[in-house]
Amino acid sequence: MTRIAIFASGSGSNFQAIVDACQQGRLDATPALLICDKPKALVIQRAEAANIPSFVFVPKNYESKEQFESDILLQLKEHEIDFIVLAGYMRLIGSKLLSAFKGRIVNIHPSLLPAFPGLDAIGQAVKYGVKVTGVTIHFVDEGMDTGPIIAQASIEVNSTDTAETLQKRIHEIEHDFYPTTLQQLFSIKGETITR
């Protein structure tokens, strides 16, 4: 079974959706580790409640991204991680992790990429007045939300939508769409995922 590390920086609603899907048998994977860069993030409590070990670090305590990614890599090896799943991790992945997990890092982003990459994608969509937005799951590369797209789901933007109401509806899509897409991805990759 695919052993995954989930990287998150915030409340961890997508983390929880993935863990729930694994426990319910909808996602054939083992959530084996949480990586978090915010010591006060709610996601840490979610991991504790699910008996999932965490590696929590403070980036400013390191001299460079390469240094903290070296520590992350040690944790990934120790927990025999096969695949990295980003779920609201608010940092660009550096070359150290990208080379060690080439083709095995995925991210979810709340827009139909390539539209609205980076921060506040939902706010950007509302501001620009788009009629349709959505969710993109993609492989991670060196850029900001530029990796190859795996799957997308769209949602209509209502004239009454605010960033908050749209975010709520997008989260509802994400919480089903991410585990479902990961299940398809892992079943396709199956034999090719090697440590």
In angstroms, the Cα distances linking 86 to 66, 137, 139 are 18, 10, 10
Q: Which of 79, 109, 138, 171 is catalytic?
A: 109
Residue type, 63: E
Contact (Cβ atoms closer than 8 angstroms) between residue 128 and residue 154: no
Contact (Cβ atoms closer than 8 angstroms) between residue 25 and residue 98: no
* Burial category of 119 from C-beta neighbours within 10 Å (exposed 0-12, middle 13-18, buried 19 and up): exposed
171 is catalytic: no
What's the CA gap between 157 and 180, in Å, rounded? 23
φ/ψ of residue 154, rounded to 5: -105, 160
Give the active site residues: 109
